[in-house]
Structure 1
Amino acid sequence: MQTADKSAPVNIGISEQDRKEIAEGLSRLLADTYTLYLKTHYFHWNVTGPMFHSLHNMFETEYTELAVAVDDIAERIRTIGYPAPGSYSEFAELSSIPETRGVPEATEMVRLLVEANEAVVRTAREAFPAAERANDESSVDLLTERMRTHEKTAWMLRSMLK
């Protein structure tokens, strides 16, 4: 991770070391969120079968929400004084979500998205303590909202597998 910009130091009541640790956690969350965005969009394009219409629409709703989320996460990283990662290679290094090659069947797409959403929750949960220790309520709020969103999405997707 690049260091903070020294030309106009960030002075928001959170130490540079704490901001760095928070930015590292948020960068992993950004990578997971972007990877999930790509996977969801890919599945949206390629889903087939009896659930086509409902899954195609559901995936579109999800990747649209994720597009907003990646912007929110990246802007939070910038707000606390660090550059946001943005290359495929950086995301591949930082993400905990495996790439999907080939086109899985619709139910496998759903299962893979359950796993990926839960991975994002775990990544957000891992980043949470640093933000909480630093009294970074803005990052805590962002992490809480991301966990809530991905837990609910995983539940809804999992319900389709019954």
Structure 2
Amino acid sequence: MAKKKTTQSDVSDIQIGIPQADRQSIAEGLSKLLADSYSLFLMTHNFHWNVTGPQFNSLHLMFETQYTELFTAVDEVAERIRSLGEPAPASFSKFTALASFTIPDEALSANDMIAHLVKGQEAVVRTARALFPVAEKANDQPTLDLLTRRMELHEKNAWMLRALLA
């Protein structure tokens, strides 16, 4: 018996064990996480460039470490969205619409920057945590793993930043 040749149409429908509706719901939640993460990346990079004062060197380096990690994270989140078969949002207007917090426009003191970063870190955690039950219900272990790693990192960052304000 001859084997059927695989064609492009045979693989155009995603068959990863997660129904399309669930993949779409998860991707919507990941899009919010992407928007929050990218907004936090942008805010942290801004503060890295503009921080002043006696803590300049330590904050400048800390912010650089955090925005560098976020740069990698946004790619990972976007690629997970694409793996689920959905388009990843990729414009400032979409990120602004999806993000759960806004980036301050005004010049801030170092302590105010830290306070905004604590709130941003915690916003990312809340966004990830809100998606967890949706991914869990769909038995989507890769997304659950991604969410767990993001929550752990952002909770730790929030703790470290908050300690600077004590």
TM-score class, shorter-chain normalisation, is over 0.9
1:22 aligns with 2:26: yes
Equivalent runs, 1:7-156 vs 2, <5 Å: 8-156=12-160
List alignment gaps of at least 5 residues for structure 1.
Answer: 1-6
List alignment gaps of at least 5 residues for structure 2.
Answer: 1-10
TM-score by length of 2: 0.93
**Match of 2:79, as an amino acid?**
E
Q: CA deviation at 1:9?
A: 1.3
Higher alpha-carbon Rg:
2
CA distance in 2, matches of 1:35, 1:127: 18
CA distance in 2, matches of 1:120, 1:20: 20
TM-score by length of 1: 0.95
Checking the alignment, whether the CA contact within 8 Å between 1:36 and 1:97 is kept in structure 2 is no
Q: CA deviation at 1:97?
A: 1.6
Give the superposed CA RMSD: 1.1
Alignment deviations for residues 63-119 of structure 1 (CA, whole Å, 9 cap, x no partner): 000000000000000001000000000000000121211110000000000000000
- Residue correspondences, number: 157
Instruction: Find runs of 4+ consecutive structure 1 residues off by over 6 angstroms.
Output: none
